[in-house]
């Protein structure tokens, strides 16, 4: 089947038509001499091979093809009665070829040259045998057929190209609509999961608080009452106390995630927010060995946002990028304003994210790290959603990731509506 498909791509149905046409002309045409047959065979070969050679699709190739076919036709005309030859209509072949790929200007030039070549045969007619008046209508029709045929082919192809462009534009719009629909569906699914998991986290966290308090109090009492000689017991009590503190901190994070955000929207300088987040992350840089480059747009004035929450978003994204990047690499932070939105891009050259994980990375408790509980990106998504913005990510495993945060640009409280 594959070989058959390749054969059909190379041998087109119209190729068979050209072969039958020129073979029929060579066998049954008005002139069956060797020269006429050789010229007809050459024209047929050019017609079949022309679409398959990339060079003949270029401007130089179109000119070469036109000159060669026009020359072969001229030889055939000279061999078969000149201006009265029955093969006059073959001059349409080079003209139509130019009409298909040479543009309107090329068609006009080809039409003038072909018409001139045909009329040139009048110069070879002796004065005493010149075309009688009753033959002039036939001559005029022959000449008129050249531009008419070329223009009709050009118009048909232009209409086809226009229809093709419209179809491509419609297909691109449909593909864009499908992408937007998939993104909207993913956002809805993420919101539903966030809501359900947020409620679960809140309930579970409250249920854990009481036993944790009891365990903490018991460990402290045990430390106070155990004899100083019982090192093992005191060490175990210390472990219990520290692990309770760690678990209680985790419960607090759960509650922070589940609790509705109370945004305080104030005109805030985005540059200062990102600079503070970068400074906080750079405290870890001696260990992470990653350089952060800033590329801020100068035309973004202060706009409404909750500075503390947005700083937390920037910190989480920058820290994730730094942790995913190899030592000695770099992270780029850029900002720009477009269509009533401020875009913040964070680009790393790290390990990237597997395609199968892209839809889940904003879900609570989803993480691919050996440590952590997977709340960082979930909190990022929640904060940006509360601002009326969105977060997008592009990632190639082994190449890096780009997180884009889009915040609505609102300068006054009235625009917040």
Q: 267 near 302, Cβ under 8 Å?
A: yes
Domains and CATH numbers, the chain: 2-130 (no CATH), 178-258 (1.10.287), 266-416 (3.30.565.10)
Classify 310 as helix, strand or coil. Answer: helix
Nearest-5° Cα angle at 152, 151 to 157 = 95
High-pLDDT (> 70) share of the chain, %: 86
Give the integer Cα–Cα distance in Å for 292 and 330. 6
* pLDDT attached to residue 227: 72
pTM, two decimals, is 0.49
* Long-range contacts of the stretch 44-52 (C-beta < 8 A, 24+): 44/18, 44/19, 46/72, 47/18, 47/22, 47/93, 48/15, 48/18, 48/19, 50/97, 51/12, 52/10
Ramachandran category for residue 126: left, alpha or beta (phi over 0 → left; psi -120 to 50 → alpha): beta
Q: HSE of 92 in the Cβ direction (CA atoms, 13 Å)?
A: 17
Give the integer Cα–Cα distance in Å for 406 and 236. 49
- Would the pLDDT of 67 be above 60? yes
Give the integer Cα–Cα distance in Å for 122 and 176. 61
pLDDT in tens, 158-215: 898 889 999 999 999 999 899 888 877 877 776 676 666 666 666 666 677 778 778 7
pLDDT in tens, 264-312: 899 999 999 999 999 988 876 666 778 899 999 998 999 999 998 999 8
Q: What is the mean pLDDT of residues 338-366?
A: 85
pLDDT in tens, 299-325: 899 999 999 899 989 998 998 898 888
């Amino acid at each position: 089947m594959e070989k058959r498909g390749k054969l059909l791509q190379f041998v087109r149905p119209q190729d068979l038509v050209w072969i039958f046409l020129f073979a029929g002309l060579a066998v049954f045409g008005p002139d069956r001499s060797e020269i006429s047959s050789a010229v007809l065979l050459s024209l047929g070969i050019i017609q079949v091979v022309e679409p398959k050679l990339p060079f003949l699709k270029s401007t130089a190739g179109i000119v070469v093809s036109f000159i060669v076919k026009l020359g072969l036709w001229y030889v055939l005309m000279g061999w078969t009665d000149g201006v009265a030859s029955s093969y006059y209509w073959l001059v349409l072949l080079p003209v139509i070829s130019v009409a298909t790929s040479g543009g309107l200007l090329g068609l006009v030039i080809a039409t003038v040259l072909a018409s001139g070549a045909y009329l040139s045969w009048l110069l070879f007619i002796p004065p005493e045998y010149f075309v009688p008046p009753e033959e002039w209508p036939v001559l005029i029709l022959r000449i008129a057929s050249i531009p008419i045929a070329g223009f009709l082919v050009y118009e048909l192809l232009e209409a086809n190209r226009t229809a093709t462009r419209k179809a491509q534009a419609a297909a691109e719009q449909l593909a864009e609509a499908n992408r937007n629909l998939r993104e909207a569906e993913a956002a809805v699914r993420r919101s539903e999961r966030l809501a359900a998991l947020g409620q679960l986290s809140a309930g579970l966290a409250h249920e854990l608080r009481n036993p944790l308090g009891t365990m903490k109090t018991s460990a402290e009492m045990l430390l106070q009452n155990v004899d100083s000689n019982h090192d093992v017991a005191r060490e175990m009590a210390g472990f219990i106390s520290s692990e309770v503190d760690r678990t209680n901190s985790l419960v607090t994070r759960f509650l922070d995630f589940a609790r509705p955000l109370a945004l305080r929207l104030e005109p805030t300088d985005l540059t200062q927010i990102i600079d503070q987040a970068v400074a906080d992350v750079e405290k870890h840089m001696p260990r992470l060995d990653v350089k952060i480059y800033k590329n801020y747009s100068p035309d973004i004035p202060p706009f409404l946002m909750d500075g503390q929450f947005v700083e937390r978003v920037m910190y989480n994204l920058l820290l994730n990028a730094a942790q995913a990047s190899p030592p000695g690499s770099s992270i780029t932070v850029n900002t720009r304003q477009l269509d009533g939105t401020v875009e913040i891009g964070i680009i790393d050259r790290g390990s990237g994210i597997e395609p199968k994980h892209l839809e889940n990375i904003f879900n609570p408790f989803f993480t691919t790290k050996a440590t952590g509980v997977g709340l960082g990106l979930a909190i990022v998504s929640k904060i940006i959603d509360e601002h009326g913005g969105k977060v997008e990510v592009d990632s190639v495993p082994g190449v890096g990731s780009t997180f884009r945060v889009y915040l609505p640009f609102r300068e006054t409280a009235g625009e917040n509506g």
